[in-house]
């Protein structure tokens, strides 16, 4: 009877709802409008302006400027730094994630590391550059004076791993947690050694998640700007720094909207990386539920 | 791994050995590995912060201890830039405004979509996660013209919140989506509606209280994000805490106040997040 009652009354709201059916999506308009103005519009502006010359006429030939050797240098710089920091971050982060996952799921260590990862993954920025400068800076370092601190990409790459490792932990830990204990036990029962387990079961299971994490870290490093700006602002090594320079010196003298063009280049790069990430995540999710 | 996780519940996990000798040996090896890893990574994460803390307590002469830098936070003013305290104030205000706007924008919309406009769910997800793929540095290029319009009406740095809400979207969305998916929205909303509740009541007095933890998480992530934001403020020529610290560092390299303020901001965010992660866990455990 209770069931009948709920289903009967349950029908009423939907009838009442039908009266409102036409405008029910209207409730989402404030959100959609906000996103349209502050996310879609700016992105559109970047794309359109990148393909126009300063007079406002279409100039698709702008894109060829991306092949310009100077511009290419910044992209190569970005690529080097992202590769270094994402590979380091992914490998070390995966090791840390494994150490965390193999412990007590409610233990203090795990909670501490997870909470810390949540904070430190966000902790890029100016402050991070200060912290490393006083730790290993060539002039004032407390731990040691690293002469390579201002070398690109080594010094800044090391600084980047500080937020890359925690990000990898956050991304990769769910995947490791998803590896079922039963699989390990099953392979042990069948006589597999630890090496064989990792080679034929654990490794293949975690590879997509690992590669996905690597790509996410790559994209993360690509868009970082504050840290490197505070680390060394005399020389522009990477695309974001060059965008910053272009923005502050743009007085309409150049024949291309440099900032927009570089930004478009970055969007394309990030889009490729993130598509790969999404595909790998889907692949990883197949087993790890 | 099985042994470790199940042993986690017993009071003395390290000593309670299982009969299987190989299992026990592997577990011991694993434990050694874990403690080495935790120590090494712990040092890597803690040492830069300690160095920052030590430098914030540096006296006039190298190697001495003093609180000067901490006292300076309230009064410091570099030449040609606004006082440090005003930047701190603005950043805190920005954090509050961004948190409020993000929640007002996201929470009702997400619930509403889940309840009534399911076909928009995918669109909403894509829109919310989009800022992850559009770096702040790119967004700022396109935001320039938009902010030109805003500056016709209002010049205050507080206007940065418009952009910060967008930056916070992915993090807030994911936190909220996790909370929302754990709530049986259909059943409780039907129950509430059948008892005569309006949609407003359903959303704000029935579903929202059920996702309190998720909202808290979203707020914290947003808060942390605003405290650490530099790129957009710097390039749109606004001033917030990070921009201020950056300009101080350019004017007066190694000024003590840099380290004390950075350290204070960091400690503040860290302690807040840590406490809340523990509080949240305990509440869930009881419920």
Q: Which of A33, A119, A166, A263 to mutate to test the interface with B (most CBs of B within 10 A)?
A: A119
- What's the distance, CA B153 to chain centroid? 30
DSSP state of A69: H
What's residue A230's pLDDT? Answer: 87
- In which band, very low, low, confident or very high, does the pLDDT at A22 lie, cut at 50, 70 and 90? low
Question: Is residue A12's pLDDT more than 60?
Answer: no
* Residues of chain A contacting B135 with CB distance shorter than 8 Å: 222-223, 225, 240, 266-267, 270
Closest CA to B55 of B268, B260, B270: B260
**Does residue A49 lie in a domain region?**
no
Look at chain A and report how many structural domains it folds into: 1
**Does residue A8 lie in a domain region?**
no
Closest CA to A165 of A98, A79, A77, A232: A98
Nearest-neighbour CA in chain A from B189: distance (Å): 9
Q: Report helix, strand and coil shares of chain B as percent, to nearest 5.
A: 80, 0, 20
In the block, tokens 């803690």 appear at: B46
Average pLDDT over residues A218-228: 88
In whole angstroms, how far apart are CA B168 and each of A150, B33, B85, B96, B100?
32, 37, 25, 13, 12
Nearest residue of A to residue B230, measured between CA atoms: A226
For CA atoms B224, B226, B232, B238, give the dihedral sign. negative
Average pLDDT, chain A: 82
What's residue A19's pLDDT? Answer: 52
DSSP B18-39: -S-HHHHHHHHHHHHHHHHHHH
**Structural domain for A137, as ranges:** 68-285
Query: Cβ of A46 and B142 within 8 Å?
Result: yes
What's residue B233's pLDDT? Answer: 93
Nearest residue of B to residue A179, measured between CA atoms: B1
Q: Which of B141, B235, B275 to mutate to test the interface with A (most CBs of A within 10 A)?
A: B141
Instruction: Find the CATH number of the domain harbouring A262.
Output: 1.10.3720.10
pLDDT tens profile A94-135: 999 999 988 887 888 888 888 788 778 877 788 888 888 888
What's residue B173's pLDDT? Answer: 94
In whole angstroms, how far apart are CA A219 and each of A22, A163, A266?
41, 13, 10
What's residue B6's pLDDT? Answer: 39
**ipTM value greater than 0.90:** no
**Does residue A32 lie in a domain region?**
no
Interface contacts (A, B; CB < 8 Å): 249
**Does residue A281 lie in a domain region?**
yes
* Residues of chain B contacting A162 with CB distance shorter than 8 Å: 44-45, 48
For CA atoms B20, B26, B32, B33, give the dihedral sign. negative
Could you give the dihedral angle defined by the CA atoms of residues B46, B51, B54 and B58, in that order, rounded to the nearest 10 degrees? Answer: -170
pLDDT means per 10 residues, chain B with 287 residues, are 39 42 76 91 91 83 78 77 85 94 94 90 90 87 89 87 94 90 89 91 90 86 86 90 87 80 82 66 47
What's residue A250's pLDDT? Answer: 56
DSSP A154-182: HHHHHHHHHHHHHHHHHHHHHHHHHS-HH
Structure token digits, residue A205: 């299971």
How far is A75 from A141, CA to CA, in rounded Å?
31
Question: Is residue A251's pLDDT more than 60?
Answer: no
**Contact by Cβ (8 Å): B54, B256:** no
List the CATH code of the domain at B84-286.
Answer: 1.10.3720.10
- In which band, very low, low, confident or very high, does the pLDDT at A234 lie, cut at 50, 70 and 90? confident
């Amino acid at each position: 009877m209770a069931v009948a009652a709920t289903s009967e009354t349950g029908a009423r709201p939907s009838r009442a709802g039908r009266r409102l059916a036409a405008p029910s999506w209207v409730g989402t308009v404030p959100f959609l409008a906000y996103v349209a103005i502050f996310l879609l519009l700016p992105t559109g502006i970047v794309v359109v302006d990148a393909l126009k010359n300063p007079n406002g006429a279409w100039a698709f030939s702008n894109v060829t400027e991306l092949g310009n050797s100077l511009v290419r240098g910044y992209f190569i710089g970005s690529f080097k730094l992202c590769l270094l920091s994402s590979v380091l971050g992914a490998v070390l982060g995966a090791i840390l994630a494994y150490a965390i996952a193999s412990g007590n799921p409610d233990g203090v260590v795990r909670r501490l590391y997870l909470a810390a990862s949540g904070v430190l993954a966000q902790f890029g920025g100016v402050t991070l550059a200060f912290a490393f400068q006083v730790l290993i800076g060539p002039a004032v370092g407390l731990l040691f004076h690293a002469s390579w601190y201002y070398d690109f990409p080594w010094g800044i790459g090391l600084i980047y791993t500080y937020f890359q490792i925690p990000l990898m932990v956050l991304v990769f830990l769910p995947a490791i947690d998803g590896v079922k204990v039963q699989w390990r036990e099953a392979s042990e029962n069948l006589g597999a050694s630890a090496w064989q387990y990792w080679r034929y079961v654990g490794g293949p299971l975690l590879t997509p998640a690992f590669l996905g994490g690597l790509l996410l870290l790559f994209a993360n490093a690509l868009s970082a700007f504050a840290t490197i700006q505070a680390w060394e602002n005399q020389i522009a090594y990477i695309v974001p720094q060059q965008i910053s320079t272009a923005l502050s010196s743009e007085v309409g003298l150049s024949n291309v909207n440099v900032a927009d063009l570089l930004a478009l280049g970055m969007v394309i790069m990030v889009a490729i990386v993130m598509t790969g990430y999404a595909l790998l995540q889907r692949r990883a999710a197949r087993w790890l539920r | 791994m099985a042994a470790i996780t199940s042993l986690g519940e017993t009071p003395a996990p390290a000593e309670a050995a299982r009969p299987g000798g190989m299992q026990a040996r592997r577990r011991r090896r694993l434990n050694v590995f874990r403690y080495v890893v935790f120590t090494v990574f712990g040092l890597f994460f803690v040492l830069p912060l300690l160095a920052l803390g030590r430098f914030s307590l540096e006296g006039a002469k190298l190697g001495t201890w003093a609180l000067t830098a901490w006292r300076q936070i309230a009064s410091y003013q570099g030449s040609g830039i606004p006082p440090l305290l005003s930047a701190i104030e603005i950043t805190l205000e920005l954090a509050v405004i961004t948190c409020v706007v993000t929640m007002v924008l996201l929470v009702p919309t997400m619930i509403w979509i889940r309840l009534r406009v399911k076909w928009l769910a995918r669109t909403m997800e894509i829109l919310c996660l989009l800022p992850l793929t559009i770096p702040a540095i790119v967004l700022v290029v396109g935001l320039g013209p938009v902010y030109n319009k805003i500056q016709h009406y209002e010049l205050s740095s507080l206007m940065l919140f418009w952009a910060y809400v967008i930056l916070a979207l992915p993090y807030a969305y994911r936190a909220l989506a996790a909370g929302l998916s754990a709530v049986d929205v259909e059943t409780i909303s039907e129950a509430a509606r059948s008892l005569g509740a309006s949609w407003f009541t359903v959303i704000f007095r029935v579903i929202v209280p059920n996702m309190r933890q998720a909202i808290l998480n979203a707020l914290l992530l947003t808060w942390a994000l605003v405290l650490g934001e530099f790129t957009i403020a710097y390039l749109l020529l606004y001033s917030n805490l990070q921009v201020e610290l950056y300009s101080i560092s350019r004017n007066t390299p190694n000024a003590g106040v840099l380290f004390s303020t950075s350290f204070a901001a960091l400690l503040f965010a860290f302690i807040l997040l840590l406490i809340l992660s523990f509080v949240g866990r305990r509440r869930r455990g009881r419920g």
